[in-house]
Amino acid sequence: MKKIINHVDNVLDESLNGFAKAHQDIVALNQQPTFVRRLTASSTPKVALISGGGAGHEPLHTGLVGKGMLDSACPGQIFTSPTPDQMLAAAESVENGAGVLFIVKNYAGDVMNFEIAAEMLDCQHDTVLVKDDVSLPENHSTGRRGVAGTLIVEKIVGAAAEQGQDLSQCKALGDHVAKNTASMGFALSSCTVPAAGRPTFDISDNEIEMGVGIHGERGREPMTMASAEELVQHITAAIDKELNPQSGQQILLHVNGFGATPLMELYLVYDLAAKFWEDKGVEIKRSLVGNFTTSLDMAGCSVTLTLLDDEMIALWDAPVNTAALRWGC
Amino acid sequence: MKKIINHVDNVLDESLNGFAKAHQDIVALNQQPTFVRRLTASSTPKVALISGGGAGHEPLHTGLVGKGMLDSACPGQIFTSPTPDQMLAAAESVENGAGVLFIVKNYAGDVMNFEIAAEMLDCQHDTVLVKDDVSLPENHSTGRRGVAGTLIVEKIVGAAAEQGQDLSQCKALGDHVAKNTASMGFALSSCTVPAAGRPTFDISDNEIEMGVGIHGERGREPMTMASAEELVQHITAAIDKELNPQSGQQILLHVNGFGATPLMELYLVYDLAAKFWEDKGVEIKRSLVGNFTTSLDMAGCSVTLTLLDDEMIALWDAPVNTAALRWGC
Amino acid sequence: MTDTNILPHLIQAIQSEMLNNEEEISALDRAIGDGDHLTNLLRGLDAVAKLNNELIQLDWSAALMKIGMTLMSTMGGASGSLLGSMFVSMGKTAKDHQLDLAGVTAIYTAGVESIKARGKSDIGEKTMLDTLIPVMNTLQTAVLESQDRSSVLKNIKTAAIDGMLSTKEMLATKGRASFLGERARGHIDAGARTSQLILCVIADELGKN
Amino acid sequence: MTDTNILPHLIQAIQSEMLNNEEEISALDRAIGDGDHLTNLLRGLDAVAKLNNELIQLDWSAALMKIGMTLMSTMGGASGSLLGSMFVSMGKTAKDHQLDLAGVTAIYTAGVESIKARGKSDIGEKTMLDTLIPVMNTLQTAVLESQDRSSVLKNIKTAAIDGMLSTKEMLATKGRASFLGERARGHIDAGARTSQLILCVIADELGKN
Ligand SMILES: Nc1ncnc2c1ncn2[C@@H]1O[C@H](COP(=O)(O)OP(=O)(O)O)[C@@H](O)[C@H]1O
Ligand SMILES: Nc1ncnc2c1ncn2[C@@H]1O[C@H](COP(=O)(O)OP(=O)(O)O)[C@@H](O)[C@H]1O
Ligand SMILES: [Mg+2]
Ligand SMILES: [Mg+2]
Ligand SMILES: [Mg+2]
Ligand SMILES: [Mg+2]
């Protein structure tokens, strides 16, 4: 393992310190328990948006805390969901009268820990569960995983909350965005969790893992390495089958890197995915390309599609001021 | 070599197509010769800012084209400087009466090709040469290399040009920023140029390359892998020796990833670098952490420091709307 | 069973056992999970061990609750919420029970039931429950049959080991391994293995008294 | 020398020679450069080869200019600007010269001088000039001594090879290899090697006529 770190036990804390310092105009870091919250709360009551999950996916979620998006994010240890006390303290720190909405990626650890926090929370609250990974069948025993589509839910609901929509509206909108979002990805390499000190899995030079989550695990199936065209075709077809956008349908197209794949390749993937839907007459209204929902130093990428309507487009375009997404501010 | 590409000969074109499509609200792509230009030119005459260099450093420079920054960028082949005809066509396409300023990283290929273009250009023009890499002595036979500090020159001069400063003012400002900017970086791995099909150099598990440029080459010297603290200390000391910021001096601190190093590690590096200068009483006024001047899939990072004055801070804060840097718009 | 004085010793024995099997456990969670299970567990055990002085001042109910809250707020992950719930639930139940065989069985059963409820899971899904539930069944049988202490301890170990081994050929329907489909077959579940090691250590230690 | 009809044949011979030494050249630029020199050169040669039909219609001056412009606009990198400048300069000079030994020497000398000017470089800096300049000196001596054609061709090859080899033990003061300091020693410069291969192929081909 070769990483720019000191002791494996301190990676997360030291990194969070740097994050909070670099973005001290946007966020504040709380220690014991650990959470990152928006520096300046909204002056009028607004629904508090809280997310979280294992660390190692940066900039998700800490990098998405700020005006127009999350009010707070709870990072767990690397690839380990955070604990209920973090979520509870985060919620209590940012709630200001309009209730709390948890945005949770559908992973057993995240779901159960957020559930416990929610049961203990003493104010109006609800949860949006994101399960956008279409590499799994819809009736999978645990439900599908929540992956890169989470950012899109957070952005759109974040804008709605900022504009004063109430808890039930935000919850309904979040469910709506989640339902209209589908993702799938593949990995070219494993990643190395510092505490483990070695790659999570071995993979040969002519093999990829198709249908991966975001915790550096193996995917649904190994596949022989192929051209970008074939790899992207594989995932766009699965996403298309799920959401079945018709000619004229407005969409948001998000190509997400897992951490070690150069932007050059991500844009190449974007080009292929865009062509696929353009050929069907689908209208790509908004795009996002970059490393947003990562798995440490894993190579690979995912494609996410969200069906848009005019309201969602307006909310996507609304001002946002976070470490990783910023416009209109 | 495992990359998400089709044929090695088409990587750049396909990627640029995707880039231009994903950011069609900001840029337009010209083919034959290849350059990316700002979609909507300023209505009043302004100095046209043009940069360029080999591809493989994305988002630099194409991702920095837009309002408040570059008017045009010329990508060469991967790690190969672009050709004079690209620069000439780019200049002619965006020049609108106030002359052209070329911002060039000090590398033989870039310098000579931009020189030839400048000699052929039939309008008022000047060049700012960036040579911020303090891993080389100032009197190095070719001068120091231009690395991650280039982005800072482009941002600050971009804002000045947008505000109507004339060519000689922009040139003077560019030289001033360049002179007050120092960078140094180290690599944990080599990168793989698609056309080469294999890593540029071999490196063992307990070795790093200290003092690297941004073309995936070896650095000034190999070093035994060490803790983040020791590695960062090595480069902050060199930068500090060069610029020697005093207590109370305002600075911009930029931690740049080379492409395959997770944000988590970059923030950890930021934390260490920030502490180093804070301990000296230096005031970190602005920060930038992320993968901006990359070397494809190289692991490693660089630290850049710029001495700021109030005018530079205001220019840094001025609106910018590019694919990779966006605020105030 | 004795008073909570035994806890520091038990916790230490469990920590050693985890470290003795470090490589194997990590490899199990890397193979069909994400590789952090042992780290999570050690972090939790470490936090619990720091409370030793406090724990021995408490009665069993309060001590178990404290352990549960500590695991819950330090482990994270799926196992943190599950083991946390288990201990909190055992603590609550311990209030109304003697620590005889029937009492221990009732307390343990409440713990396992809370995992089933929180995890929406049951035996046969390739999780820690494949270790924990057979042990619960063994205890319940032991109560019905009024087995003697040494038989009970022996039977617990057998049930735990058989249960753990049974996960090997299962398809997973809960936890991360479920995402792998057929590829999860042939691997023992990490949580089943750590639960088994913990139960066996406890049985061994109690057998020494 | 004959007319520009010979160009397609020469270009093709150079392309083959580059491909025959593909592995070695790439390795040289990877070792102390950035690994793209051969790719750059092949891209330039390929573009020139596409112009074959056009080139044979032109006189030497125009053909060399055209080659220079083509290399300049297709190669990129340090070598693109340098070789481009060299050919443009040779084309300009060819206007005023016969293609006898003295003329060729004057033309070639103008080309080399333009590299020195553009590159701010000279012999002994571990670049292509360490091949090109000794050949220039050889030609100039040949003019002074009125050497016969086959001696000239032989001497060119010797000078090119010796010059190329001389880069091995040099410290680099120009180009990317300069950044490596002492570490560049022991490696032949990629540009010196390709220049030498090109000059030797041309000498061989001209020797066949
Ligand atoms: N729904 C569930 N019910 C019971 N046990 C579960 C469930 N989900 C996961 N587990 C157990 O948790 C273990 C994984 O724990 P751990 O690695 O610490 O957390 P994570 O899966 O979040 O990385 C699995 O090996 C399995 O035994
Ligand atoms: N200033 C210079 N003068 C003469 N030759 C140079 C100079 N700089 C570089 N070269 C030559 O160019 C070669 C490198 O070419 P190439 O790899 O195509 O470009 P780049 O260095 O931009 O990647 C070097 O091997 C060297 O021979
Ligand atoms: Mg985990
Ligand atoms: Mg190059
Ligand atoms: Mg795990
Ligand atoms: Mg090169």
State pLDDT tens for residues C174-193. Answer: 999 999 999 999 999 999 99
- CB–CB of A253/A305 below 8 Å? yes
Q: Which of B64, B67, B12 has the alpha carbon at shortest distance from B42?
A: B67
Tell me what pLDDT residue C2 has: 60
Ordered alpha helix ranges (H), B97-148: 108-120
Say if residues B85 and B51 touch (Cβ distance below 8 Å): no
CA dihedral C197, C198, C203, C207 (to 10 degrees): 100
The rounded Å distance from CA B226 to ligand 4 centre is 30
Residue A120 to residues A38, A124, A128, B187, D39, Cα–Cα distance (Å)? 23, 11, 17, 47, 64
Reading the block at residue A312, the tokens are 């969602």
Distances in Å between the Cα of B308 and the Cα atoms of B212, B249, B278, B321, D113 are 25, 8, 15, 22, 43
CA–CA dist B204, B56 (Å, integer): 24
Contacts of B264 (CB under 8 A, 6+ apart): A11, A12, A15, A55, A56, A58, A296
CB interface of B with A, residues 281-320, below 8 Å:
284, 287-289, 291, 294, 296-297, 299-301
Q: Which residue, chain included where needed, has tokens 């029937």? A: C102
Ligand 3 centre distance from Cα of residue C34 (Å): 6
pLDDT tens digit sequence for C1-41: 468 999 999 999 999 999 999 999 999 999 999 889 999 99
Contact B264/A12, CB-based, under 8 Å? Answer: yes
Torsional sign, CA B89, B93, B99, B103: negative
Percent of chain A scored above 90 by pLDDT? 97
CA distance C198 to C87: 14
Residue D47, number of CB atoms within 10 A of its CB = 15
Domains held by chain D: number: 1
Positive or negative, the Cα torsion across D15, D17, D23, D26?
Answer: negative
Q: Could you tell me if D26 lies within 8 Å of chain B, comparing CB atoms?
A: yes
CA distance C190 to chain A (A): 14
On whether the CB atoms of residues D94 and D60 are closer than 8 A, the answer is yes
Residue written as tokens 């929370």? A121
Region(s) of chain A under CATH 3.40.50.10440: 8-180
- Secondary element (H or E) of residue B77: strand B72-78
Residue D1 has pLDDT above 70, yes or no: no
| Opening angle at CA A26, ends A22 and A31, nearest 5 | 75
Pocket test for ligand 1, best of C128, C136, C171, C180 (most atoms within 8 A of CB): C128
DSSP string, A31-98: TTTTEEEESS--SS--PEEEEEEEESSTTTTGGGBSBTSBSEEEEEEETS---HHHHHHHHHHH--SS
Instruction: Walk across the sheet containing A283-290 and list its strands.
Output: A221-224, A207-210, A181-187, A300-308, A250-257, A283-290
Is residue B125 part of the annotated active site? The answer reads no
Q: What angle do CA C83, C123, C42 make, to 5 degrees?
A: 25
Q: Alpha-carbon distance D103 to D97, whole Å?
A: 5
User: Which of chain D's residues have a Cβ under 8 Å away from the Cβ of B116?
Assistant: 72, 81, 84-85, 118
Q: Among candidates A34, A51, A200, A257, which has minimal Cα distance to B261?
A: A257
Provide the pLDDT for residue B103: 98
Tokens of A261: 């794949």
- Ligand 1 pocket list (CB less than 6 A): A 80-81, 108-109; C 29, 33-34, 36-37, 40, 77-79, 82, 115, 119, 121, 127-129, 174-176, 189-192
Q: With a cut of 80, say whether residue D129 has pLDDT above it.
A: yes
Among C34, B93, B78, CA closest to D76: B78
d(CA B58, CA A327): 20
**Cβ contact A291:B291 at 8 Å:** yes
Is the C-alpha dihedral spanning A311, A313, A315, A317 positive or negative? negative
Q: For residue B18, give both structure tokens.
A: 């995707």
Helix H or strand E segment including B183: strand B181-187
pLDDT computed for residue D187 by the predictor:
97
* Sequence-separated (6 or more) residues with CB below 8 Å from residue C32: A218, C172, C176, C177, C180, C183, C184, C187, C189, C190
* Structural domain harbouring D183: 4-208
Residues of chain C with pLDDT under 70: 1-2, 209
- What burial class does residue A137 get, using C-beta atoms within 10 Å of its C-beta: 0-12 exposed, 13-18 middle, 19+ buried? exposed
CATH number for the domain including C166? 1.25.40.340
Q: Point out the residue among A6, A227, A288 whose CB comes nearest to the CB of B6.
A: A227
Question: Is residue A117 within 8 Å of A88, Cβ to Cβ?
Answer: yes
pLDDT value of residue A144? 97
Separation CA A156–CA A64 (nearest Å): 12
Q: What per-residue confidence (pLDDT) applies to D2? A: 60
- pLDDT for position A41: 80
Query: Which among B40, B39, B65 is positioned nearest to B52, based on CA atoms?
Result: B65
How far apart CA A182 and CA B136 sit, in angstroms, is 49
Query: A205 at the B interface (CB within 8 A)?
Result: yes
CA proximity to B105, closest of B215, B180, B199, B191: B215
Residues 6+ apart with CB under 8 A from B169: B160
pLDDT tens, residue order, chain B (329 aa): 999 999 999 999 999 999 999 999 999 999 999 999 999 887 889 999 999 999 999 999 999 999 999 999 999 999 999 999 999 999 999 999 999 999 999 999 999 999 999 999 999 999 999 999 999 999 999 999 999 999 999 999 999 999 999 999 999 999 999 999 999 999 999 999 998 899 999 999 999 999 999 999 899 999 999 999 999 999 999 999 999 999 999 999 999 999 999 999 999 999 999 999 999 999 999 999 999 999 999 999 999 999 999 999 999 999 999 999 999 99
The residue contributing the CA closest to ligand 1 atom 21 is: C78
Q: How far is it, in rounded angstroms, from Cα C91 to Cα C107?
A: 8
**Model confidence at A177: pLDDT above 90:** yes
Kindly state the average pLDDT of the residues D146-170.
98
B215: annotated active-site residue: yes
pLDDT of residue A43: 81
* CA pair distance A104, A113, nearest whole angstrom: 10
Q: Which strands make up the sheet holding B48-55, listed edge to edge? A: B27-30, B35-38, B72-78, B48-55, B100-105, B125-130
| pLDDT(D19) > 80 | yes
Q: Would you state the pLDDT for residue B300?
A: 98
**CATH label, B8-180, candidates 3.40.1410.10, 3.40.50.970, 3.40.50.2000, 3.40.50.10440:** 3.40.50.10440
Q: Between B165 and A195, where is the model more confident?
A: B165
D39, HSE (Cβ side, Cα atoms, 13 Å): 23
Report the pLDDT value the prediction gives residue A40, as an integer from 0 to 100: 85
pLDDT of D31-43, one tens digit each? 999 889 999 999 9
Burial D147-172 (b: 16+ CB within 10 A, else e): beeeebbebbbebbbebbebbeebbb
**Cβ of D82 less than 6 Å from ligand 2:** yes
Task: Show which residues of A are catalytic.
Answer: 57, 215
Instruction: Tell me how many helices (H) and strands (E) chain B has.
Output: 8, 14
- H-run or E-run covering A207: strand A207-210
* Cis ω before D134 (30° cut-off from 0): no
Distance CA B222, CA B244 (A): 26
| pLDDT over 90 percentage in chain C | 96
CATH class of A181-315: alpha beta
Q: Does A293 touch chain C (CB under 8 A)?
A: no
What is the per-residue pLDDT for B11?
97
pLDDT in tens, A88-138: 999 999 999 999 999 999 999 999 999 999 999 999 999 999 999 999 999
Task: Provide the residue type at B193 as one letter.
Answer: V
Strand intervals (E) in D71-174:
none
Query: Per-residue pLDDT tens for A14-36?
Result: 999 999 999 999 999 999 999 99
